Chains A and B, each alone.
Chain A
C-alpha cells in the first residue's frame, strides 16, 4: 500500500523543487526565444559571416545532447577560467540548446511570409523596421507558433537533467528520496509534479494555436 503519510511529508519538498524547475524553464525559454529570433533574423537578412557562424551554432546545438552541453559548461569552462554557478549554467545550457531550435522554428515562419507582402509594405512607404514589425513578424509568428510551443514544451522536459549540475530540481529530490526506500510514492509525486507543470502549459498552447490558426493570412 502507498504510504500517504510519507507522501504528505514530501509534498513541500516537491513544491519547492517544482518552483525551481519552473523558474529555470521560464528563463530558459524566454532567453531561447530571444536568441532564436535574433539568429533567425540574421539568417533572414543574410548578414555575411554572422549567418555562417549562426548556421554552425545551430547545427552544433541541435545535434548534441543537452546533458553533454551542460557537462561542458559546468565542469569544463571553470578550468578555462570561466566559473558559472549551477543556475546560470542551467539557463545558459538550456538557452544554447533552445536558441537553435527556436531559430529553426522562426525560420519556417519568416520564409512563409510572401515576398509580395514585403513589396506591398515598401510601396506604401513603410520603413524596413516598420515592415518587420507590422508586416513580417505578425504573420511569421502565426505560422511559427505551433513549432514554437512544441519547442517550449520540449525545453521544459529537458530541464529534467539539471540535477547533473547539482541543482535541487524535481529529479534531484526524487533521486534523493530513493534512499528512504519509498520509490513508488516519490515517483508518483514526481509524475504529478511534471503533470501539474506541463499539462496547463500544453493546454494553453493548444488554445493559443487554435486562436491564431486563422491569423496566418497573406500566403
Chain B
C-alpha cells in the first residue's frame, strides 16, 4: 500500500511541481499579509482617530468585507473588473489584491482594537512628562500597541494561508491545483492517488499553520499583562 504512495510522489516531476505550487501559495499569502499590515496600520489609526468621516467610511468598508465571502470578492474582481473597465489583470495580481483588501480590513480592526484598548493615562502621563507627540507615539504608544497587535497579526497570517486555496477557482497553479492535476493523471492507474495526494497537502498546510498558531498562542500568553 505504501509503495502506491511512493510511486505517485516519485513519478515524473510531481514532487517538484508540488513544491512550485507551495511556493505560489506562500508567495501570494505572504505578500498579501505584508501589504495588509502596511495598509492596515494607517487605516486602523484613522479608524481610531477623531474624524467621523473616516471612521464611517472605514466602518462601512470593514463591514462589507467582513460580510462577503472572500471567494465572492475574488470572482467579483477577477471576472467583473475585466469586463467593466476593459482591463485584463493577471490572476495572481487579482488574488493578492483581493486578499490584501480583506487583510487590510482585518488588520485595521486589530490596530483599532490595540490602540483603543490602551488606557488613556498612557497619553496623559506622556504629555505630563513633556514628551512631544512624535516621542509619545514612538516610545509609549507604538511599543505597547505592537505587543497587543502581534498575536493577531500572526493569526492573520495563518488565516491568509488557509484562504489561498481559493485561487484554485481562478486557475492559479497553487498547491491545490497542482494536487488536483496530479490526482487526475495518477488516479487513472493508482486507485489511492486521491487519498495520498490530498492527505499529503492536508499535512503540508497543517505543518505550516500549526507552528505559527502555536507561536501566536505563546506570545498571547507571554505578553498577557
User: Does A44 belong to the interface (CB within 8 Å)?
Assistant: no
Q: What mask results when residues 62 to 82 of chain A are scored 1 for a CB within 8 Å of chain B, else 0? A: 111101110110011101100
User: In the complex the two chains form, is B176's CB within 8 Å of A195's CB?
Assistant: no
B76 at the interface (CB under 8 A from A): yes
Query: Which residue numbers of A lie inside 8 Å of B, CB to CB?
Result: 59-60, 62-65, 67-69, 71-72, 75-77, 79-80, 153, 157-161, 164, 171, 174-175, 178, 183-184, 187, 190-191, 194-195, 198-199, 202
Binds A, one of B43-51, B52-60, B92-100, B202-210: B202-210
Classify the secondary structure of B's interface with A.
helix
CB within 8 A of A79: which of B176, B192, B209? B192
A59–B211 Cα distance when bound, in Å, is 10
List 13 A–B pairs whose Cβ atoms lie within 8 Å, in order of A's numbering. Answer: A59-B213, A63-B213, A64-B205, A71-B176, A72-B198, A76-B198, A79-B192, A157-B69, A161-B166, A175-B75, A194-B69, A194-B72, A199-B67
Known: A62-B213, A65-B163, A68-B165. A190 touches B75 (CB 8 A): yes
Q: Kindly provide the distance from the CB of A52 to the nearest chain B CB, expressed in whole angstroms.
A: 16
Which residues of B lie under 8 Å from residue A191 when comparing CB positions? 68, 72, 76
* Secondary structure of the A contact surface, majority rule: helix
- B135, CB-defined interface residue at 8 Å: no
Report the minimum CB–CB distance from A150 to chain B (whole Å): 9
Give CA–CA (A20, B146) in the complex, Å: 43
Does B27 touch A at the CB level, under 8 Å? no
| Shortest Cβ gap from A167 to chain B (Å) | 14
Q: Which of A63, A160, A175 lies at the interface centre, i.e. has the most chain B CB atoms within 10 A of its CB?
A: A63
Cβ contact within 8 Å between B67 and A202: yes
A65 to B205, CA, bound (A): 8
| Cβ 8 A contact of A72, one of B71, B72, B82, B199 | B199
The residue of chain B having its C-beta at the shortest distance from the C-beta of A201 within the complex is B67
Q: Assess whether B162 is interfacial by the CB under 8 Å rule.
A: yes
Interface contacts beyond A75-B194, A160-B71: sample of 5 additional A-B pairs, CB < 8 Å, sorted by A: A76-B198, A183-B83, A187-B75, A187-B76, A187-B80
